[in-house]
Structure 1
Amino acid sequence: MSNYTPRKSTRIQQTYQKSVKRNNSALLVPQKYTPPMSRQGDNSAKERNPNANRFTPLLLSDKAMEGMPSVESSPSKSPVKQKSKLDSDHGATPDTPEGSNDNDPLLTMSSSSNAASEQYIKESMLMLRRSFQQDIQKLIEPTIQQVSVLTSKVEHIENKMGEFATAQNNLADDHDTTKDEVTALRIKLADMEDRNRRNNLKFRGIPESVPPKELEPFLKDFVKSLLPDCSAQEMEIDRAHRLPRSRNIDPSVPRDVIARFHFFKTKENILQAMRHTKELPERFKHINIFIDLSQTTIQQRRLYQPITTALRENDIPYRWGFPVKLIIPDGNSTRIVHNPDQGLELLNKWGIAPAPIKNRLG
């Protein structure tokens, strides 16, 4: 075997020798190359040395490295020494750790290559960033347009909703105003209807055996029994007829008769006499009298029925006002009851129990 001696003129050899001195460690040295044997002896050679054709690195110790030639003893001039000379001429004093070779061309190339690599990486990152920005811009541009369209639509809808809310508030206010107006009109219409019926009286209990043509004579006889001093002229009746039977009334019950008296005073006298008369002739014993009112007024007065019944039972006079209310004289003053709750409070104050509710007005 012969020792492997590197050439002194190459850069790799110089680096090799410097690394040996710097690290003082084991190096890789190739073994002697053994040419392959003839084809006939290939099998035997492989059996003797299976790794004969391989390049096997050899670890050399520090003692083995002592006999190897040094690059520094070579008289050849190297670029490293020339560069160090130039540096010494220019007065360069590099700040490097002691024992390191500052004029190493590989280190210089490595630093310059590192700077170039960093610059290249920065430029690549900038180009990559711009590319990403452009790609993202292309991707989100349709989304931005859609968001812009949706934003305009939402603003339009919000404006419309504001208009609708204003219109709704106006409609609510108008509804309340219209409701009040309708209530006032209903009250006025009911009052007009009541005034048109102010001379009418409804008679309940007249037998069906009395024919229509005999209704007026029968009613005049009934008025004569209540008001003996009433003249024939005061008892004048404009018209009288039966009313249709209600669905909730038994068919055996005779239909009501409505009569219009020519004089309002005669109607009022009949009502007053009916309230104070305790006994009637047998012929008229089952007859009851009611004033003729509109349906609206009847429904409102029906709410006061327990109060009016209790007042009649205790001989307390009262009269109706417009709109529907009770006017009750109380000594030198007058009490006005605007709703049933006030009437119940007044009865409670007087110590009068309200009467039970009946189906018919009295």
Structure 2
Amino acid sequence: MGKKNKKLQGSAVPRQPDIRLSFKLPQRPKMAPVACVSPEASEASIEEEESLPSPRLDARSYMPETEEDEAPTTKGDIKKILVEMRQVWREDLQKVQTDVEAGRRIVQGLETHEASRDGKIRATDQSLLELTSQVQDLRCTVTTMEARQRHKNLRLRGVPESVENTQLLHYVQDLTAAMGVKSATDKMQITTAFRVRKAATAPSEAPRDIIVVT
């Protein structure tokens, strides 16, 4: 009896709660598994995100279309415009090249003509120098001959003006014959006779002198 009472008394004592079970530990958030993504795939995903339309409202979409909105924006249209522009530029360049070639030919012709003219000018200068030298020689010769001729010429004064120029030669020949000079066989032979201008100091009533060329 005593042992049973002891067991009953021991079973009647309530158990103390376990403190460890009363506190709940904080749970960590579950992480999604990380997948290996290549750089190409990441760039493609970024391009897809950029290509997606923005949820923001664009005021230009509600504005009326203008001439600028009607301009071609596709690659084909731009390529076509570039081809047309290149064709126009090519034609303009060909025209410019043609004009340049024509100008070059003209310049070459002018250079050739200029060189030929320079050669002619040099030849003309040389000929002019030679002619000038010849003229100088002839002038000296004429001066010498005139000086020698003057020593043989005669100057007659006092012959009246009534004797005309056509009669001067016969008048002088008759005068020399009257003076006793032989005209045909003598050393002096009269070839011509002419009057000269009156000297400034000569009297106004005096007749002009006569030069007798012998």
Could you tell me the TM-score, scaled by structure 2's length?
0.48
Could you tell me the TM-score, scaled by structure 1's length?
0.31
Structure having greater relative contact order (Cα 8 Å, sep ≥ 6)? 2
Select the structure that is richer in helix. 2
Q: Which protein is bigger by CA-based radius of gyration?
A: 2
